[in-house]
Chain A
Amino acid sequence: MAVTSEVAKPRAGIATRSAFDVARVREDFPILKEKVHGKPLVYFDNAATAQKPRQVLEAEQNFYLRLCSNVHRGVHWLSERATQAYEDTRVKAQRFLNASESREIIFVRGATEAINLVAGTYGRKNVQVGDEIVISAMEHHSNIVPWQMLCEEKGARLRVAPINDRGELILEEFEKLLGPRTRLVAVTHVSNVLGTINPVQEIIAMAHRQGIPVLLDGAQGAVHLKVDVRELDCDFYTFSGHKLFGPTGIGVLYGKARLLEAMPPYHGGGDMISSVSFEKTLYNVIPYKFEAGTPNIAGTLGLGAAIDYLGGLGQENLLRYEEELLAYTTEALAGIPELRIIGTARQKAPVISFVLNGLHPHDVGTVLDQEGIAVRTGHHCAQPLMDRFGVPATTRASLAFYNTLEEVDRLIKGLHKVREILG
């Protein structure tokens, strides 16, 4: 029997240049069918938190329906299964970051807790009076405040590497800040406001030449880039599950094993000990030393499902499609009168902040919301960055791979409506 080859038909929905079926992917995200003020939801607040595919929701529910028990404690069947699933996720996270060993993966509540953990353990142990920590001008509050708190406690100094008007780190200035008193460099991989992708390889090389360890805040980076901690040679990497299409309340701290081993514990409690007496407590080995108490087991399994899901789609396909979304959105926004994009780095993720001349982002956000479009308005937990660009706030559209060019068109229409209503 002759096999007739089907002529390729255009896909439903928006045709894209990349080999990526966004219409099919959207089927995995139940919330994308919601209506807001009677209009189909356009979710452009992905940098705040991303939506979750059905697979993540099912993994969380499956834990409570079929596996619920504590981990690392019971000899009973359920506990063994739960422990296995929990530890399997650690291996998934290890592979996701291409870490050498799974014990270099610490489960935490999110990137914020991960940074606080490093500041509270590595920082408190190694930073002394007169020492310095170097961050950048584009950091999220979560990569500023923990270091400020540490510096205040230790009498150390926080140094801030400047950025140019495009929102790019000025590498020469950054390098000048490094010196014999620098104990740590902590910078974001991708800016949550500007979308800037930092030249982390150069940053790490400059710091390592002087023996300074580097922490990368990967809250956005893990979402928009392929991360290879061994290739980067970063000393710490942090990310939040909920921005990576996983649940809230779970995240990862990666640390090089030799650094983690030398660090004192963070929280005290069960699971982080190997033996306790009232005279002396022996701490557990890594990663458990840093995981006191019953962890967020359901969230961890949800994160594992998110990592599997992304792997199934093929991260390279996703990233190529994201580039297309960014280019299309940037071009479309350029057609809006008196709109200024804040953050025009040459290397950029699809996180786009802008201001409309004479209009406050809060008003812009309210009008867009009535159109069913969810954007973030405000300072995005980066007040020093707002000051750098001389704006009190911005409107931010942050896109994910389930967004479509059609949705970008709706944003553009919405912005015309903003002008019509607010003048």
Chain B
Amino acid sequence: MSDLHALYQEVILDHSKRPHNFRPMADPSRTAQGYNPLCGDKVTLFVRLDGDRVADVSFQGSGCAISTASASLLTETVKGKTLAEVESIFAGFHDLVTGKAPRDGQGPALGKLAVFSGVSEFPVRVKCATLVWHTLRNALRGGEEVATTE
């Protein structure tokens, strides 16, 4: 598979064209905004918490295929997870897209997020994939500041 096809896998293209959980939320516990000034990607993330568990998560915004698919798959992945589990998944995802080998046996099961492995061959696109994750972290920490990739 060429690098390009590895980057733009079917799953990624599907999620970028028909993102899941792409909607505002009426009663979010937390919201946060993310912005990538390099390419103009903008994302607003809505999170409803139930104790320390993510009960619901959705997003809105505009961005490239990688950032939109990443946001869509994030919402699918973290729903129902605890805050600690989310942190652990983000760490594993970050290692994946930056080309660091997953820690043996200790890495979280990334499931569908594994489709982003091709991003590691495109260093300038890492920010596209991680923007929404940084935004989620900001939301969960209750921060008001806009997550940026700079």
A→B interface (CB under 8 Å): 358-363, 366-367, 370, 377-379, 383, 386, 392-393, 421-423
Contacts and interface: CB of A to CB of B under 8 A. Distances in A.
B4 interface: yes
Give me the 3 closest cross-chain CB pairs, A-B, nearest first: A360-B64, A362-B64, A362-B39
A363 B40 contact: no
A358 B64 CA distance: 10
A370 B121 CA distance: 12
18 contacts: A358-B17, A361-B39, A363-B64, A363-B66, A378-B38, A378-B40, A383-B40, A392-B40, A392-B41, A392-B62, A392-B63, A393-B39, A393-B40, A421-B5, A422-B8, A422-B13, A423-B13, A423-B17
Given A392-B62, A393-B39, A422-B65, A363 B8 contact: yes
Interface of B: 3-5, 7-8, 13, 17, 38-42, 62-66, 68, 122, 124-125, 128
Contact of A366 (B13, B42, B125): B125
B42 to A, nearest CB: 7
Contacts of A360: 39, 63-65, 68
B63 A370 contact: no
Given A359-B65, A392-B63, A422-B8, 18 more contacts: A358-B17, A360-B63, A360-B64, A362-B39, A362-B64, A363-B8, A363-B64, A363-B65, A363-B66, A366-B124, A366-B125, A367-B4, A370-B3, A378-B39, A383-B40, A392-B40, A421-B8, A423-B13
A370 B4 contact: yes
Nearest to A393: B40
Given A378-B38, A392-B42, A393-B39, A421 B4 contact: yes
Contacts of B4: 366-367, 370, 421
Contacts of A363: 8, 64-66
A8 B17 CA distance: 55
B40 A379 contact: yes
Interface residues of chain B: helix, strand, loop or mixed (majority): helix
A421 B63 CA distance: 18
B7 to A, nearest CB: 7
Contacts of A359: 65
A274 to B, nearest CB: 43
Contacts of B13: 422-423
A367 to B, nearest CB: 6
A361 B66 CA distance: 12
A45 to B, nearest CB: 14
A309 B66 CA distance: 43
A271 B7 CA distance: 54
B139 to A, nearest CB: 22
B93 to A, nearest CB: 20
A160 B116 CA distance: 43
Contacts of A378: 38-40
Contact of B40 (A366, A386, A421, A422): A386
Contacts of B40: 378-379, 383, 386, 392-393
Contacts of A358: 17
Contacts of B41: 362, 392
Contacts of B7: 366
A392 B43 CA distance: 12
Contacts of A366: 4, 7, 122, 124-125
B40 to A, nearest CB: 4
A254 B4 CA distance: 47
Contacts of A383: 40
A288 B3 CA distance: 54
Contacts of B122: 366
Contacts of A386: 40
B35 to A, nearest CB: 11
Contacts of B63: 360, 392
B132 to A, nearest CB: 15
A173 to B, nearest CB: 27
Contacts of B8: 363, 421-422
Which one of A360, A379, A393 has the highest number of Cβ atoms from chain B below 10 Å of its Cβ? A360
Nearest to B2: A370
B18 to A, nearest CB: 12
A379 B42 CA distance: 13
Contacts of A377: 39
A392 B39 CA distance: 8
Nearest to A370: B4
A155 B69 CA distance: 45
A375 to B, nearest CB: 13
Contacts of B125: 362, 366
A167 B148 CA distance: 30
A370 B5 CA distance: 11
A153 B106 CA distance: 55
A74 B38 CA distance: 45
Contacts of A421: 4-5, 8
